[in-house]
Structure 1
Amino acid sequence: MSLDTVVEDIRDEARARADEIRAEADERAEEIISEAEADAEQIHEDREAEVEREIEQEREQRLSSAKLEAKQARLGARRDVLEDVHDDVEQAVADLDGDRREELTRSLVDAAAEEFDDGDSLRVFGRADDQALIEDILTDYDDAEFAGEHECLGGVVVESEASRVRVNNTFDSVLESVWEDNLKEISDRLFEAQ
């Protein structure tokens, strides 16, 4: 074998090996490109799903916020209506007159007097407009006197220095007690259709 033949055989082997390496590189490049395309497609799908989740979450948050806002507005409106009703009731109580006012005031004086010991000197306070009515009622009591004005819708505040007791039997205090005890029922009745 001549040297030229050996060189030619080496070249042929080198060419074959180079073709083989090139083919392997091309195959590997195709695998890398395919993997990259698959990764890109997965990233795209993941991002799309993430965007959909964010959109849904934002929609839920806005819907929840709108519902809360509507509920707060509804509660505010109910509170306003209840305040209006309370004001109307308060005005109706303040406007009581004649026998009804006397009957209520008398029962409040009687109830307050029961809180004190016999013989205690009672000082009775009431609405300035009710002074004559209260003084007339107090004629039934030996140790009670009208002691001055008290800012209220009506009724009386009675106190005794001997027992250091003060009884607030004003229309205001009775109204507030009744209002608080019956607020749920009042609210249910006013808003039962909703």
Structure 2
Amino acid sequence: MSLDNVVEDIRDEARARAEEIRQDGQEQADAIIAEAEADAEDILESRTADVEQQIEREREQALSSAKLEAKQARLGARRDVLQRVREQVERELAEFEGDRREELTRSLLDAAAVEFEDEDEVSVYGRDEDADMLETILADYDGYEVAGERDCLGGVVVEGANSRVRVNNTFDSVLDTVWEDNLKEVSTRLFDDQ
């Protein structure tokens, strides 16, 4: 074999080996690219799912927030209506006149007087505008006298000199009790709650 033939054989072997290496390299590159593309596809699907879940969570949060705001607005409106109703009742109580006012005041005083049966001196407070009416009513009660005014819609606050007992039988206190006891029913009637 001549040196040229040996060189040519070595070159052929080197070319074959180079082709083999190139093919192996190409196969590895193709495998890496395929794996990278698969990974990229998986990442894309995962990120797409994450984004869709995030969008759904944000949509649910926005919906919940909107429902809560609507509920709060509805409750606020109901509170406003109930407040207006209460104010109207207060105005009507303050506007009671004549026999009706005297009858209610006398009933409230009678209810309070039970607490002061053993008292010699009893002080009665009422609305400034009711002073003359209270004087007339107290003429029927021994030891009772008008002692001053109270800022109220009407009725009486009664105090015993000896027992230090105070009974608040004003229209305001009666309204507070009736209002609290019947608020649910009032709300149901106004807003047709079931």
Q: The TM-score by the shorter chain falls in which range?
A: over 0.9
For 2:157, the aligned partner's letter is V
For 1:24, the aligned partner's letter is D
What count of residue pairs does the alignment treat as equivalent?
194
Task: Tell me the TM-score normalised to structure 1 length.
Answer: 0.92
Task: Tell me the TM-score normalised to structure 2 length.
Answer: 0.92
Q: Mapping of 1:43-122 within 5 angstroms?
A: 43-122=43-122
- The worse-fitting range, judged by mean Cα deviation, of 25-34 and 96-105 is 96-105
In structure 1, how many angstroms separate the alpha carbons of the residues matched to 2:29 and 2:119?
Answer: 113
Q: Mapping of 1:123-134 within 5 angstroms?
A: 123-134=123-134
Other structure's SS at 2:118 match = coil
For 1:105, the aligned partner's letter is T
In structure 1, how many angstroms separate the alpha carbons of the residues matched to 2:26 and 2:120?
Answer: 115
For 1:168, the aligned partner's letter is N
For 2:131, the aligned partner's letter is Q
Is the aligned partner of 1:165 residue 2:189?
A: no
* Aligned-residue RMSD, C-alpha: 1.7
Identity, in percent, stands at 69
Unaligned runs of 5+ in 1: none
Q: Which residue of 2 aligns with 1:183?
A: 183
Is the aligned partner of 1:146 residue 2:157?
A: no
Other structure's SS at 2:63 match = helix
Q: Which residue of 1 aligns with 2:18?
A: 18
In structure 2, how many angstroms separate the alpha carbons of the residues matched to 1:70 and 1:136?
Answer: 54
Unaligned runs of 5+ in 2: none
Shift of 1:25: 0.6
Other structure's SS at 1:114 match = helix
